[in-house]
Amino acid sequence: MKAEVVRLAGRDPRDNPRFVVTNLPQMPRHVYSLYCDRGDPENRIKELHYGLGLDRTSCSHFRANAFRVLLTAAAYVLLQELRRHLASTVCATSQVSTLRERLIKLGTRVTVSARRIVLHLPSAFPWLAVWHAAALALGARGG
């Protein structure tokens, strides 16, 4: 299989026709959609690499590094689930690094009693509405 997509340089992406050169027997639209669909997995790998530090394997033992990679993959799955629950918010299409910065890396005061855990978020927190929507979507009770 050989396919090559060519874009004319110096033109706006919306007004820039794509040319596909291939020896595949399918229709050009189908070949182009296959070519475009391959970019999404590459973007997910970049998110793992840059957003969660998948390449952080600095331990001298293989098992320790494998465990680090496993934890990173588990964190990515959890953040994907969080993103799925944020479908109706501005963070619905946010990258993992953006979700971490806006919703997880947050200084807060925690109060624990016998019946509940209360998080006192900063009053100047710009993503309070999104954070609240995420908490409710994940099963928290408003108070």
Residues 95 and 66 in one domain: yes
Same domain, 71 and 133: yes
- Reported residue count of the chain is 143
CB 118 within 8 A of CB 143: yes
Mean pLDDT, range 95-119, rounded to an integer: 89
Higher-scoring residue by pLDDT: 19, 119: 119
Q: Are residues 85 and 29 in the same domain?
A: no
Asked whether residue 65 falls in the same domain as residue 133, the answer is yes
Residues 58 and 33 in one domain: no
Separation in Å, CA 86 to CA 79, 101, 132: 10, 15, 10
* Residues of the domain holding 8: 3-37
- C-alpha pair distances (Å), 40 with each of 35, 80, 99, 133: 10, 14, 18, 27
- pTM of whole model > 0.85? no
| % of the chain beyond a pLDDT of 90 | 13
